[in-house]
Amino acid sequence: MDTSAAGTETRIAHGALPARDKLRLGIPRVLNVWSTHQFWIGLFGALGLDARRIVFSSDTSDEQMREFGKGRGTVDSCYPVKCVSAHYGELLALDRHRRIDVLFSTMIYSVPSFLHGHVVDSLACPRVMAAPENIKAGFLKEGDAFAARGVRYVAPLVALGEPDMAARQLLAALAEFLPGVTRREVEAAVRAGYAALEAFAAAARRQSREILENCARLERPCLLVLARPYHMDPGIGHEIEVDLQAYGFPVLWGQYLPTDPDLLGWMFGAEVAAGQVRSGLDIADVWPSSYSANTNEILWAAKFAARMPWIAGVIRLSSYECGMDQPTYTPVQQIVERSGTLFFSFQDLDSTKPAGAVRIRVETIAHYLARDAAGIIARKRDASPPDCPLAAAPLP
């Protein structure tokens, strides 16, 4: 059997499909889709699919699991992977006129990362990449649940971290439900996908910079969230940062920090000059096993927080049974705390949000921030070089 390039038998074909502009595509909003969704929208848009017919599953929730995920699990896993069954189930259960034709669930092998070139690799967690195979099994073990709903299941493996590979890997899978699609078309669509993703990230980074500029100007503290992209899912991250925002602290996400050369030069220039790191995006000094993209970004963002005066506190979110986060707990905490920045961690997050406990934690965090932020900012600024480019920014 040929298993080259796109090769696995993950396609389960059923029935005829409508034309492209009528095709309804279901995408589980899970795992690294949270950091790549713009790519998929850009890709399918360029291929002529109607954006209104691209259906993402809802945010993760207990109800979703109860209603659509029950009995589909095959093995105990970390919480974000366990939830994927419910997302599949929800998409399969969509009723008559919202019924999807294709369930498209990619095995994202690697992801585009702003640290590319500065780290060993940008791979996805082994569970992230393999989740579709694992979850699929739960829908096949007692008969083919996809076939029963007349849905075509398509799960290509794609190394999004290698743009020149992505088109090749996606072509065969796309041809499954877009008959006649050409290589050129897919290549152009992939380019459009990356452009959409980059535009989104650039805008988000700009926004983060503006927040930091504002904080610098007003000598105000802000908070940084260190988490995996899917902790933005209210059912996975429990919106802890939203509760903090309500206290008036602007919140940044590690994935979307500004990476402008002037800022990185100011923050890391001395260490580069001293040969401690090769560049402002190098993390070899704290994390030499830099294979995993999301882990790398968390480590880098922790370094960023340690050197950014106005980030007075860091909130670390981790899911129940996350094997990737486990070895990073101490390094991340150490990176942050050695700089005098406040560090708060919510570990073992799973399905239930213990509202009371979170409220108390949030109050505690707010209290310490209010009490200590000015001192933290002053100390970190004293330790930083003069002429911060953030402070020099013109008023909006």
Partner 1 sequence: MHNADTLERTTVPQQQGAAQRIVHYRAYKPAPFTLEDREQATILFGGLQWRTERLIQGAIERFGYKTAVLPTATREDLLAGRELADIGQCCPTSFTTGNLAGFLRKESQRLGAAEVSRRYVHVTAGSCGSCRFGQYHQSYELALRNLDLESFRLFLLQQNALDQGEAAGQGLDLSPQLMTGVFWAVLMGDVLQDLEYQIRPYEVHAGETERVARESVERLHEALRSAPLRGGRKSGVLWYLLTGHFTAALREVYARYAAIEVDRLRVKPLVKITGEFYLQTVEGEPNYNIHRWLEAEGAEVYPAAISIWIDYLLRLAAQEAEDRIGVRRGARVKRAGAAAVQGLLRWNYDRMRAALGGLPREMPRQEELRALAAPYYHSRLNGGEGDMLVGKALWAHRKKKAHMTCELSPYSCMPNTMSVGAMAAALGRHPDVLYAPLEIKGDAEVHALSRCQMILTEAKRRAQREFEEALERTGLTPASARERLAGHPARLAGCKVPHGGAAGTAANLVLHLAATN
* Closer Cβ to partner 1, 41 or 325, answer by number: 325
Stretch that binds partner 1, among 3-11, 25-33, 56-64, 87-95 (CB under 8 A): 3-11
Distances (CA, A) of 320 to 69, 79, 238, 310, 343: 18, 6, 13, 30, 19
Amino acid at 379: R
**Pick from 86, 109, 94: which is nearest to 25 by CA?**
94
Minimum Å gap between C-beta 324 and ligand SF4 is 4
* Closer Cβ to partner 1, 182 or 207, answer by number: 182
Q: Which does 306 bind (CB under 5 to 8 A by kind): partner 1, ligand SF4, none?
A: partner 1
Instruction: Identify residues 162-181 at the interface with partner 1 (CB under 8 A).
Output: 164-165, 168-169
Cα 209 to chain centroid distance, Å, stands at 19
Q: Which does 168 bind (CB under 5 to 8 A by kind): ligand SF4, partner 1, none?
A: partner 1
* Closer Cβ to partner 1, 53 or 290, answer by number: 290
The SS3 of residue 113 is coil
CB 373, CB 312: distance < 8 Å: yes
Minimum Å gap between C-beta 99 and partner 1 is 24
Please, how many CA atoms are within 13 Å of residue 179, restricted to the half-sphere of its CB? Answer: 5
Instruction: Identify residues 5-34 at the interface with partner 1 (CB under 8 A).
Output: 5, 7-10
The residue ranges that bind ligand SF4 (CB under 6 A) are 78, 80-81, 125, 127-128, 228, 319, 322-325
Give the DSSP letter of residue 167: H
**Pick from 65, 67, 45, 46: which is nearest to 54 by CA?**
45
Q: Which does 123 bind (CB under 5 to 8 A by kind): ligand SF4, partner 1, none?
A: partner 1
**Pick from 91, 90, 123: which is nearest to 104 by CA?**
91
Task: Compose the 59-78 pattern: x for residues touching partner 1 by CB under 8 A, - for all others.
Answer: --------------xxxxxx
Between 261-273 and 293-307, two packed helices, what is the crossing angle to 10 degrees?
80
H/E run at residue 40 = helix 33-46
Residue 152 binding partner 1, by CB under 8 A: no
Exactly one of 201, 247, 345, 391 binds partner 1 (CB under 8 A); which one? Answer: 345
Residue 95 binding partner 1, by CB under 8 A: no
Integer Rg of the chain from CA: 22
Minimum Å gap between C-beta 129 and ligand SF4 is 9
Dist CA 115 CA 307 (whole Å): 18
Dist CA 174 CA 46 (whole Å): 13
* Closer Cβ to ligand SF4, 282 or 325, answer by number: 325
Q: Which does 372 bind (CB under 5 to 8 A by kind): partner 1, ligand SF4, none?
A: partner 1
Minimum Å gap between C-beta 78 and ligand SF4 is 3
Task: Give the total of residues touching partner 1 (CB under 8 A).
Answer: 99
Minimum Å gap between C-beta 124 and ligand SF4 is 8
Instruction: Classify the C-alpha dihedral 226-228-230-236 as positive or negative.
Output: negative
Q: Which does 80 bind (CB under 5 to 8 A by kind): ligand SF4, partner 1, none?
A: ligand SF4
Distances (CA, A) of 22 to 52, 101, 111, 373, 384: 10, 10, 30, 54, 57
Residue 364 binding partner 1, by CB under 8 A: yes
Exactly one of 92, 103, 286, 362 binds partner 1 (CB under 8 A); which one? Answer: 286
Residue 23, φ and ψ in degrees, nearest 5: -70, 135
Q: Which does 3 bind (CB under 5 to 8 A by kind): ligand SF4, partner 1, none?
A: partner 1
- Could you tell me where the DSSP H helices lie in 227-354? 234-237, 240-245, 261-273, 293-307, 329-337
Residue 218 tokens read as: 């007003």
Minimum Å gap between C-beta 69 and partner 1 is 14
Stretch that binds partner 1, among 24-32, 175-183, 241-249, 360-368 (CB under 8 A): 360-368
Stretch that binds partner 1, among 174-182, 193-201, 218-226, 353-361 (CB under 8 A): 353-361
Residue 113 binding partner 1, by CB under 8 A: no
Minimum Å gap between C-beta 157 and partner 1 is 5
Dist CA 94 CA 221 (whole Å): 45
* Closer Cβ to partner 1, 41 or 186, answer by number: 186
Place of tokens 């041809």: 175
